[in-house]
């Protein structure tokens, strides 16, 4: 296992990731010596967690909090969309009940919850979006997304465990998008912020930078896409949430027909420079650190709060555990919040299964789980008090 003991800073406190404890009180509307504090302070204090599905129980979340040290879950709606994705696109009430159950479990267990609807009508895949999706061609699908968020806010505003509204997972838009067109992600974000703030002025809103593609050309990846957003956002209570799957040839090897066998460190794959140039490099921690430099610049220039909402690698990929440790160490270096992908959501990512591809038995100890627990140690003092405390 890679040593995670690197300098890390949250709120001016320098700590070591392998043994760190951050003694902050919880944020509004949770208690801090009898006072109420703002949820944005929770983000600034630092959140480290996992992605998981909406069918998790309070016992699952107590395991994550008490035995792993997790303080936030990003609840994925990828397999449980709140709207049917076929006409007439009505609400799926069973999935709404699951989301309520997840938040109830979070409050009971003392776990912050990010609501991530993940998918919506007008998107072809349930895991991500692409530039050819109907969402970016027909404003009718914007209306559906807006009304979904209107209902979410009515039903979940004021809940202490809900630490953020993640508007849409992994927007991927065409490079020729015109301002004011259905492919204008900034315009859709502004509209969503307006309807959310009409009901809920407090809960942080999480926006994900877009991948911007032209035929045969990448304009923005999920990190440089941060600079797609305007300098003046329509709200100050924003958390910016890129995802980290770099290089994709390594992090998604063996999936959807991609070749297996790439080893970290040292695998050769393209690196995208912010000015738009590609370079084939041997990947190691130094290259991972280069990938995030646009986020470092964005954070410094705009005083932005950054949350890396997803990162991972197949548990059986050669060197994948070292890769995960290196990615975490880069995030910790810059004091960023993050959520590992994922907990009991998919065979390929679950750290409880270990590096044996054929094993699907939950194991109490694996190399990746040890790496994650060492990093989650930094969460101490920044938890939601369990219900009843």
Determine the pLDDT at residue 380. Answer: 85
Residue in this structure with the two tokens 């420079």, named with its chain if needed: 273
For the entire predicted model, the pTM comes to 0.91
Q: CA 28 to CA 32: how far, in whole Å?
A: 8
Instruction: Summarize pLDDT for 252-264 with one digit per residue, the tens.
Output: 998 988 999 999 9
Q: Is the dihedral of CA 168, 172, 174, 178 positive or negative?
A: positive
When pLDDT is averaged across residues 241-250 and rounded to a whole number, the result is: 98
Structure tokens of 188? 């859709």
Whether residue 135 is predicted with pLDDT greater than 60 in this model: the reply is yes
Determine the pLDDT at residue 246. Answer: 98
Q: Where are the alpha helices (DSSP H) in the chain?
A: 39-45, 58-62, 93-109, 139-156, 185-199, 248-251, 285-291, 293-302, 320-333, 367-376
Instruction: Summarize pLDDT for 194-237 with one digit per residue, the tens.
Output: 999 999 999 999 999 999 988 888 999 999 999 999 999 999 99
Q: Read out DSSP for 196-214?
A: HHHH-SSS-EEE-PPEEEE
Structure tokens of 127? 């895991």
Determine the pLDDT at residue 13. Answer: 27
Please, what is the Cα angle at 378 between 381 and 386, to 5 degrees? 35
Point out the least confidently predicted range of 37-41, 169-173, 240-244: 37-41
Q: Which domains does the chain have, with CATH numbers?
A: 7-379 (3.20.20.80)
Instruction: Summarize pLDDT for 342-359 with one digit per residue, the tens.
Output: 999 999 999 999 999 999
- Nearest partner of 379 among 58, 68, 37, judged by Cα: 68
Determine the pLDDT at residue 24. Answer: 33
Residue 60: other Cβ atoms inside 10 A = 19
Q: CA 73 to CA 56: how far, in whole Å?
A: 10
Residue 97: other Cβ atoms inside 10 A = 12
Residue 7: which pLDDT band, with cuts at 50, 70 and 90?
Answer: very low
Residue 303: which pLDDT band, with cuts at 50, 70 and 90?
Answer: very high
Q: CA 74 to CA 72: how far, in whole Å?
A: 7
Residue in this structure with the two tokens 């000015």, named with its chain if needed: 275
When pLDDT is averaged across residues 359-367 and rounded to a whole number, the result is: 96
Q: What's the distance, Cα to Cα, between the start and end of the chain in Å?
A: 36
Beta 243-244 vs 337-340: how paired, if at all?
A: unpaired
Whether residue 19 is predicted with pLDDT greater than 70 in this model: the reply is no
Residues in the chain: 389
- Percent pLDDT > 70 in the chain is 90
Determine the pLDDT at residue 381. Answer: 84
């Amino acid at each position: 296992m890679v040593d995670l003991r690197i300098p890390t800073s949250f709120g001016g406190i320098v700590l070591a990731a392998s043994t760190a404890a951050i003694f902050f009180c919880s944020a509004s509307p949770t208690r801090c010596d009898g006072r109420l504090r703002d949820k944005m302070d929770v983000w600034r204090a630092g959140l480290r967690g996992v992605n998981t599905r909406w069918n998790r129980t309070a016992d699952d979340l107590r395991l994550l909090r008490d035995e792993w040290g997790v303080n936030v879950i990003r609840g994925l709606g990828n397999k449980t969309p709140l709207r049917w994705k076929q006409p007439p696109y009505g609400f799926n009430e069973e999935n709404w009940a699951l989301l309520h159950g997840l938040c109830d479990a979070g409050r009971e267990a003392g776990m912050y919850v990010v609501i991530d609807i993940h998918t919506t009508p007008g998107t072809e895949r349930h895991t991500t979006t692409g530039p050819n999706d109907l969402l970016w061609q027909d404003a009718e699908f914007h209306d559906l997304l807006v009304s979904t968020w209107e209902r979410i806010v009515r039903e979940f505003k004021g809940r202490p465990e809900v630490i953020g509204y993640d508007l849409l997972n992994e927007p991927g838009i065409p490079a020729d998008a015109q301002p004011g067109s259905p492919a204008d992600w900034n315009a859709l974000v502004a509209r969503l912020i307006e309807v959310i703030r009409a009901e809920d002025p407090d809960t942080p809103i999480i926006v994900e930078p877009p991948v911007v593609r032209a035929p045969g050309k990448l304009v923005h990846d999920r990190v440089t896409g941060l600079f797609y957003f305007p300098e003046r956002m329509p709200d100050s209570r924003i958390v910016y949430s890129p995802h980290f799957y770099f290089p994709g040839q390594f992090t998604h090897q063996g999936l959807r027909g991609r070749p297996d066998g790439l080893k970290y460190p040292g695998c050769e794959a393209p690196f995208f420079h912010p000015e738009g140039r590609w370079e084939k490099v041997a990947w190691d921690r130094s290259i991972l650190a280069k990938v995030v430099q646009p986020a470092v610049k964005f954070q410094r220039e705009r005083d932005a709060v950054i949350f890396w909402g997803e990162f991972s690698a197949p548990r059986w990929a050669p060197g994948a555990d070292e890769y995960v440790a290196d990615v975490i160490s880069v995030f910790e270096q810059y004091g960023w919040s993050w959520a590992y992908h994922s907990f009991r959501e998919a065979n390929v990512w679950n750290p409880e299964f270990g590096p044996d591809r054929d094993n699907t038995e939950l194991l109490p100890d694996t190399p990746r789980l040890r790496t994650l627990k060492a990093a989650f140690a930094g969460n101490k003092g920044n938890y939601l008090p369990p219900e009843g405390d």
